[in-house]
Amino acid sequence: MPSATHLILHGKVQGVFYRDWTVETARGLGLTGWVRNLPDGTVEAQLEGDEGTVERMIEAMRDGPPRASVERIERRDTEPQGFDSFARR
C-alpha cells in the first residue's frame, strides 16, 4: 500500500530551483505526486510511494538544492491519490 504525505516547506525555498530539484529527485526515487510554489513564499508538495522512499525524500528535502535553506517542514499524512508521475505545478 503506497504512503502519501502532504508538505509545506518554509524558508528560502523559492527562486533557488527548489521545485525543479524536487521533481528530479522524486522521479529518481520513483515517487509520484507534485510540487508548487505558494503565494506566501512557501513550497507545497504531495509525495506518494513506498513509505521508506517517502521518508528518504523528506530527509533529502530538508537540505534541498545548494542555494535553498529549509527552516521548517509542516507534514500531514494523506490518502494516496494514485498519480502517474511527479509533476511541477
Which residues carry out catalysis? Answer: 19, 37
**C-alpha cell at position 78:** 494523506
The Cα 77–Cα 89 span in angstroms is 20
Residue 9 CA to residue 79 CA, distance in Å, equals: 20
